[in-house]
Chains A and B, each alone.
Chain A
Amino acid sequence: MTRTANVGEAVAPLLELTDIHYAYREGIPALSGLSLSVFPGERVAVLGANGCGKSTLLKLLAGLIFPRQGSYRAFGRKIDERLLSRDPFGIFFRKDVGILFQNSDAQLFNPTVEDEIAFGPLQMNDPAAEVRSKVQRAIEAFGIGPLASRAPYELSGGEKKKVAIASVLVMDPQVLLLDEPTAGLDPRSSRALVDTIVEAEKKGKTVVTATHDLHIVSEIARRVVVFGEDNRILASGTPEEILTNRSLLLAANLVHLHRHAHDDYWHVHEHEHHEIVHFHEHPDESPGGGSKR
């Protein structure tokens, strides 16, 4: 699959999955026959309910797990375990593909925040002065100066997330894979993260974000891929196309019918959950549209 760029030449996908099947246990598939192409500089949101395979997809794209069936190509190379562990391309791949885990505790394994951020550049054998300067810049960019000498267990959930993001971005990866990046973040931190993703696009980075937070989708993505509960892709389109397709969102378990009381009347309408914002609309304003309590 190729895409045509503005100037007319064909652009090959940067990441390309073809007919991928993956199961953690026999008989319980996490991904079934998935095909997906991500183009350079694209911002893609992967939407889906819990357990639909979003995290598995990101781990697969990050070359951390490998499909049982199907093929994965990245940067024009067929990705397999041997290539990433034995070939010098593996170093390039690890440097250029950054993944933010859903569970920040898994990602923060160093004694202090400073060590955490320095981990990636040190693995790349950057000179000590350059490592320090990169760490300092990342700390300043995320406003986590006061946390620099703290241990991960001394951080709140939101702080852990920020440190985890800083520890990924310090590597300056070309591909960012973000697994539920706004989960557990307060509105301001969530906003800052959305800005970071938008900024990443300006720098030409490719961002794939797995989320079920519909509020941020139109900002963080130009293309949305919706996963069904059967671990297959249900639909793909622009944020406007997807977010206005109520039946699709209902089928994907991203919104549900909600009964809501107004004085003496009950309304029934679609509704989605999010930690901070409670979003819904009322299709009928007249009491007659609802049912008498």
Chain B
Amino acid sequence: MSEPSREQRFLDTAASRGLRPAGRTHVEKTLRELSSFFSRSMFREETARRPGLLQRVDPRARILVTLLFLVSVSLARSIPELLAHAILPLAAIPLSRIRPGEFLGAGFLIAIVFSVLMAAPATLNVFFDGTVIIPLIDNGREWRYGPYFLPAVIGITREGLLTAATFLLRALTSVAAVLWLTLSTRWADLLRALRFFRLPAIFLQVIGMTVRYTHALLRHSEETHLGKKSRTVCRTKVAAEQAWVGSRIARSWERSLHLMEEVSMAMSARGFTGEAKLIGGPWFGAPEWGLLLAVVLFCTGAHLA
């Protein structure tokens, strides 16, 4: 009879000790999902690097036109005006070589769902009076209890639909414009472009450093997680997993404090005395002025629609 292999001997020992494969614990899944969410939402810059028509325009001009557009959308009153406005972000997305799936995944789908959920009650005559055009429930008679009132026929009203459509168009058009800006512009460029708006330099410095070190700590957390995974042989108790996560949070905190101390020293070493100073960029060129003019003309035309 041949000797059992090394693997077999180990598996026999593991079985005798009641060890189970590590599997995928909910703690691990949560950590991975969290890390992936932050990486996706904050640092996905691949779309911003594509050679789209609008990526060639200075980010400052992109921020400026987005702000102008948002003001214009908020001033629009009628459905045709809002519909005309909606064309602009929808055209900007393919011009920036952003795929519809990426656009929806970046938050537009969530925006649609939540906007519809918010707007839906306003369409019913339960909350606001109006002319019912789509009856849903016929109670036969009205019901009143103190300040509460239910009409005999509950349904969708014309006025409610108009209100909901106005809200949805305004909200989703604005969200689309902001998403276009964030998908077509890298964080670094976005932060640099904000200087153009004369925001306090220290505020921009702090935001920039927050983004920078969130990334550094995120990477560190990912590495810690992978380090643990590489040495996790068998399944551990949930309580032990939670204790580990707790200890790592404390370690990350400690590490971030240490890093903060070092960053502060590095800043002092290069002459920082508490007053942030930032470098300005060159003034607008033809593409920037062109985009600005196009958006102004478009918004004016949309208001006349």
A residues with a Cβ closer than 8 A to B are 59, 62, 64-65, 85, 91, 94-95, 97-99, 101, 103, 105-112, 114-115, 118-120, 122-125, 128, 131-132, 135, 149-153, 167-168, 171
Contacts and interface: CB of A to CB of B under 8 A. Distances in A.
29 contacts: A64-B265, A65-B265, A95-B271, A103-B259, A105-B216, A106-B263, A106-B265, A109-B208, A109-B209, A109-B212, A109-B263, A109-B266, A109-B267, A111-B191, A111-B192, A114-B279, A115-B192, A118-B279, A119-B270, A120-B270, A123-B271, A123-B273, A131-B279, A149-B189, A151-B212, A153-B212, A153-B215, A153-B219, A167-B270
Contacts, number: 96
A65 B268 CA distance: 11
Contacts of A114: 279
A95 to B, nearest CB: 6
B187 interface: yes
Nearest to B275: A123
Please provide the 10 A-B residue pairs with the shortest distance between their CB atoms, ordered closest to farther.
A123-B271, A106-B262, A122-B277, A153-B215, A111-B188, A151-B188, A111-B208, A94-B271, A120-B270, A64-B265
A132 B279 contact: yes
B212 A111 contact: yes
Contacts of A105: 216, 259
Given A59-B265, A120-B271, A123-B277, 17 more contacts: A62-B265, A64-B268, A64-B269, A65-B265, A94-B268, A97-B269, A105-B259, A106-B266, A109-B266, A111-B208, A112-B192, A115-B279, A122-B278, A123-B273, A128-B280, A151-B188, A168-B270
B170 interface: no
A152 B211 CA distance: 11
Contacts of B279: 114-115, 118, 122, 128, 131-132, 135
Contacts of A59: 265
Given A151-B186, A151-B188, A111 B270 contact: no
A149 to B, nearest CB: 7
B270 A123 contact: yes
B266 A101 contact: yes
Nearest to B277: A122
B43 interface: yes
Contacts of B268: 64, 94
A186 B268 CA distance: 29
Interface in B239-287: 259, 262-263, 265-273, 277-280
Which of A94, A99, A110, A125 has the largest count of B CB atoms less than 10 A from its CB? A110
Contacts of A112: 188, 192
